[in-house]
Amino acid sequence: MISRPSRSPRLLPLLALSSVCIAVAARADTGPAEAARETTAPGGDQFGFPRAIPFSRSASRDAPGFAVAMAPRGVRTAAGEIGFAAYQGHGLILRPGFYGLLELEGDEQPGFTPWPSQQIHFWRGSYAFQAALAFDGLGRRLCSRCALEFTLRFRHESEHYTGANSGGLGIDYSDRPIFGDAIILDVATVLWRGNWLLIIRALDDLFLPDRSSYSLGPGLDLHLRYAAWRRIHPFFSGYAEYLFGTEHGDLSYPDAYLVRGLLGIAVPGALGDLMVFASGDVGHRKGLAAYTKEATLGLGVRLAFGSMPGM
């Protein structure tokens, strides 16, 4: 086939630079009270949490969690990550793991649906094999509750839609972009300042040639929470991504972006958080609806597994 033009910037150096900056910023926390807290994430050394710094609180639509969005459209998400094992040594913890996602989304008129169940139209399915490497030794040298982690994932995603049970003509979505296969690099760190927790994650999707409608997908993920109280933590999660379109088959696909924020409260527990939030986003929808660009305000609930570092 015709060779694909390279119009995406090479962001690996930027990713590496951002990780260094994040690590330097993490040195700000030197409070003596925090120094006594544990830094090791629970979950044991097999079939435990897959990361030292969980991705489940992210505002990304791909965040691993069990969630329902009741507005602006019904979105049901069943996604999770699990670590197969945890290998420790030399200040490092390596966690190989697995990620899976199934997301159902309606295509109804925007509004509020308390219990969305009948409007499933778009489907996304995804799985990933991953390995997270936590630099615990380096994190502790930076500050008492700091954590630094690098994750490498091979991820596949496919997009589908619901057809009528009674048959009839299908909808032609053949020109819609294919997420396909990607290798995803991300580096994350935790910054504590008093009772404020900040998770910063920089990530980049490196799509495999001829396996996707995109070439590169850098993103930035933030999670800020106030953790002074034992039962309630107000939080804000922000996420931004930009997918560079490429040529696939005989189509040239446009770029896509999404900026999304969640504002709400988290009810922490031993396994994770119950998050209730309002959401706002600007950008492209997901899956087969990816060509629609819109700005929305919504509402949702999520069960997010994985313990927070330093809590």
In the complex, minimum distance from the CB of residue 299 to other proteins, in angstroms, rounded to a whole number: 5
Q: Which range of residues in 23-31, 163-171, 225-233, 277-285 is near other proteins by CB under 8 A? A: 277-285
Q: Does 295 bind other proteins (CB under 8 A)?
A: yes
Dihedral sign for Cα 43, 153, 93, 13, please.
negative
d(CA 291, CA 175): 10
DSSP conformation class of 141:
H
Q: Does 42 bind other proteins (CB under 8 A)?
A: no
Q: Does 172 bind other proteins (CB under 8 A)?
A: no
Q: Does 110 bind other proteins (CB under 8 A)?
A: yes
Give residue for tokens 């994190």: 139
* Closest to other proteins by CB, 54 or 245: 245
Question: Contact with other proteins (CB under 8 A): which of 71, 184, 266, 288?
Answer: 71
The one-letter amino acid at 46: Q
Q: Does 297 bind other proteins (CB under 8 A)?
A: yes
CA-based nearest residue to 201, from 255, 244, 241: 241
Question: Contact with other proteins (CB under 8 A): which of 64, 80, 177, 264?
Answer: 177
Question: Contact with other proteins (CB under 8 A): which of 102, 247, 259, 265?
Answer: 247
* Closest to other proteins by CB, 36 or 250: 250
Q: How many residues bind other proteins (CB under 8 A)?
A: 32
d(CA 80, CA 101): 7
Q: Which range of residues in 22-30, 48-56, 70-78, 230-238 is near other proteins by CB under 8 A? A: 70-78
d(CA 165, CA 188): 44
Q: What are phi and psi of 267, to 5 degrees?
A: -105, 105
Classify each residue of 105-141 as buried b or exposed e, where b means 16 or more C-beta atoms within 10 Å of its C-beta.
Answer: bbbeeeeebeebeeebbbbbebebebbbbbbbeebbe
In the complex, minimum distance from the CB of residue 114 to other proteins, in angstroms, rounded to a whole number: 11
Pairing status of strand 247-248 against strand 87-89: unpaired
Q: Which range of residues in 22-30, 150-158, 227-235, 297-305 is near other proteins by CB under 8 A? A: 297-305
Burial classification of residue 260, based on how many CB atoms lie within 10 Å of its CB (0-12 exposed, 13-18 middle, 19 or more buried): buried
8 A C-beta contact, residue 78 and residue 105: no
Question: Contact with other proteins (CB under 8 A): which of 47, 112, 196, 229?
Answer: 112
Question: Contact with other proteins (CB under 8 A): which of 296, 301, 303, 311?
Answer: 296
- For residue 215, what is the enclosing H or E element? strand 214-226
Question: Contact with other proteins (CB under 8 A): which of 299, 301, 303, 311?
Answer: 299
In the complex, minimum distance from the CB of residue 245 to other proteins, in angstroms, rounded to a whole number: 8
Q: Does 249 bind other proteins (CB under 8 A)?
A: yes
d(CA 286, CA 280): 15
In the complex, minimum distance from the CB of residue 218 to other proteins, in angstroms, rounded to a whole number: 20
Question: Contact with other proteins (CB under 8 A): which of 253, 288, 306, 307?
Answer: 253
Dihedral sign for Cα 224, 125, 151, 215, please.
negative
Question: Contact with other proteins (CB under 8 A): which of 73, 201, 223, 302?
Answer: 73
The site for other proteins (CB under 8 A) is made up of: 1-3, 71-73, 110-112, 175, 177, 213, 245, 247, 249-254, 278, 282, 284, 291-299
